[in-house]
Amino acid sequence: MGEIKKLNFVQAVNLALDEAMTADPKVIVIGEDVADPEGGGVMGVTSGLSTKFGENRVRSSPISEQAIVGAAIGAALGGYRPMAEVMLMNFVSVAMDMIVNHAAKLRFMSGGQTSVPIVIRTMTGTGIQSGGQHSDYLEAWFAHTPGIKVVAASNPADAYGLMHSAIRDDDPVLFIENIPGYWAPGSVESGKVVPIGKAAVSREGKDVTVVAHSRMVSEALAAAQELEADGVEAEVVDMRTISPWDRETILGSVAKTGRLLVVHEAVKQFGIGAEISAVASEELPDKLKVSPKRLGAPFAPVPFSLPLEQAYAPNRASISAAIHELMN
């Protein structure tokens, strides 16, 4: 067992990057403000890396998302393992051509002659009143795209372990971070890698399966705790990887409980909850006691005003209410 460190999410990702760069000289970093003279990342996730590894390997770039992701793709074709930071998830929209048409497809289109082992780190989330262009969860766009993996850790240990896996992976990986969750402390075991494609059962229960990722995991756990008093035992599955999602763990849990609730912060319509619910319905028609339910944001942009924003994403109360509906 490795050394246990008390780290928050920012420190956990930073440690994984530091270790990966130490272990492999091919690991490089590019993005806006990522080097130390510019602050080591707007949230400090890449702090200290340029000082330790030099500004050739850790490059602060112009605000040029296509050029950032393109440079990462090209360097990957040239034999490197770049981590490109696209500061906020909404900014990936500026680099969609590079991510979707190139990073995700080049391995297939070249018949396996080339591959694009890049990690694209990006942060997002409601809860800090950032409004309509700085808060979206867009994971469904990428989960709908063959060739790019999508991960979203809910805690520092998984962030550390998934970053190690993402850097070692030969496919492009989109690494989604939740801003309000950055500073919650956690325990990180040094050297403990979390495999891509493997969900975690965060809490066991026999009555209902709640599937969540990123910040919604802590809301689901709070709801599950609350429901104990009512005699409901909810099992919370933290997806950790959104694509390829862990069918074995999730469907296994649903087969056991017979009830499924999928929760995500992204809008409900055409969100990943639809896919998971559909697959559960297709694969487990005899096990489901009731139709799966989904919770997601309404079909509206993220609002600014505090009460509107608070009403936007699912939370402990709405998750509890949905579970009650499934139980009755």
**Least distance (Å) from another protein to the CB of residue 169?**
9
By CB under 8 A, which span of 62-70, 128-136, 222-230, 257-265 interacts with another protein? Answer: 62-70
Q: Determine the size of the site formed for another protein (CB under 8 A).
A: 52
Dihedral of CA atoms 182, 214, 93, 107 in degrees, nearest 10, equals: 110
Q: Which of these segments, 38-46, 108-116, 303-311, 312-320, binds another protein (CB under 8 A)? A: 108-116
Nearer to another protein, 157 or 224 (CB): 157
Q: Is 146 in the site for another protein (CB under 8 A)?
A: yes
Q: Which two tokens stand for residue 294?
A: 């989904």
Sheet strands side by side (includes 234-238): 200-203, 234-238, 208-212, 260-267, 293-297
Nearest in space to 221 (alpha carbons), one of 207, 245, 237, 241: 237
102, 134, 164, 264: the catalytic one is: 134
- Stretch touching another protein by CB under 8 A, among 5-13, 31-39, 101-109, 176-184: 101-109
Per DSSP bridges, beta strands 27-31 and 81-88 are: parallel
Structure tokens at 179: 């801003």
CB atoms within 10 A of CB 99: 30
Catalytic residue at 134? yes
3-state secondary structure 52-95: HHCCCCEEECCCCHHHHHHHHHHHHHCCCEEEEEEEEHHHHHHH
Start-to-end CA distance of the chain, whole Å, equals 44
Alpha-carbon 88 to chain mean position: 13
Closest distance to another protein from the beta carbon of 77 (Å)? 5
List, in order, residues 6 or more apart from 238 with CB less than 8 Å away.
Answer: 154, 158, 199, 200, 201, 202, 212, 213, 217
Residue 244 interacting with another protein (CB under 8 A): yes
Q: Does 239 bind another protein (CB under 8 A)?
A: no
Contact flag: residue 98 with another protein (CB under 8 A): yes
Task: Please report, as residue ranges, which positions from 253 to 312 form the binding site for another protein (by CB under 8 A).
Answer: none
Q: Does 60 bind another protein (CB under 8 A)?
A: no
Q: Which two tokens stand for residue 101?
A: 């048409």
| Residue written as token pair 């190690």 | 164
- Asked if residue 22 binds another protein (CB under 8 A), the reply is no
Asked if 252 is part of the footprint of another protein (rule: CB under 8 A), the reply reads no
Segment contacting another protein by CB under 8 A, of 94-102, 127-135, 209-217, 257-265? 94-102
Examine residue 246 and tell whether it contacts another protein (CB under 8 A).
yes
Active site residues: 134
Site for another protein, rule CB under 8 A: 28, 56-57, 59, 61-62, 64, 66-67, 69-80, 82, 97-98, 101-102, 106-114, 146-147, 149, 165, 171, 193, 195-198, 241, 243-248
